[in-house]
Amino acid sequence: MHDLERRAQAVRATLSHWQGKPFAYGAVDCVKVGAWHLRQMGHHLTLGLAKAGTYRSAKGAKRALTRAGHDSVAAALLAAGLEQIPLAMALPGDLVLAEGSHGLESVGILIGNGAIAGFHEDAPDAGLQVIRLNSFAPVEAWRA
């Protein structure tokens, strides 16, 4: 299977699995979705958050990151061995980060054609959805 088809297949699987599940810190959030997606992409890595305990709020997520030894989601991705890449080099299936709420980054999955899969703060109960890049404004990208 060609790499781009494999990537598209992983994006479809991620959307199918997570769409319609309302956002909930520690259960259905962008980091959990990103980690699940990375497994679909063939990565067998840990972001270290499972050992950091559960969390149910933005404040709890920050504490979990700190307990895991990271000061940001980007630092966790780097520690997990993912390669940070220029945004212009991102392919479908790669992870992108944007400024999120409550001092946390927001993780999205690049779909392509100007869209990502992610959660939108205006519709947290909608679950994972397709968001136009102009609404997400990624600042970093990570090769998946």
The arithmetic mean of pLDDT across residues 63-85, rounded, is 92
Which backbone phi and psi does 136 adopt, to 5 degrees?
-105, -40
Query: 96: domain CATH number?
Result: 3.90.1720.10
User: Confidence band (pLDDT; 50, 70, 90) for 129?
Assistant: very high
* Domain hosting residue 120, numbered range: 3-142
What is the band of 51 on the pLDDT scale with cuts at 50, 70, 90? Answer: low
Rounded to 10 degrees, the C-alpha dihedral 57/61/62/64 comes to: 130
Indicate the number of domains in the chain. Answer: 1
Q: Answer whether 0.85 is exceeded by the pTM.
A: yes
Give the separation between CA 58 and CA 62, rounded to whole angstroms.
6
Distance CA 135, CA 33 (A): 19
Alpha helices in the chain (DSSP H): 3-18, 30-40, 58-67, 73-79, 133-136
Q: What is the pLDDT of residues 61-71, one digit of tens each?
A: 999 999 989 99
Each residue's pLDDT tens digit, 130-144: 999 887 888 899 999
Angle, alpha carbons 93-98-100 (nearest 5°):
125
Q: Exposed e or buried b for every residue in 90-125, given b needs 16+ CB within 10 A?
A: bebbbbbbbebeeebbbbbbbbeeebbbbbbeeeee
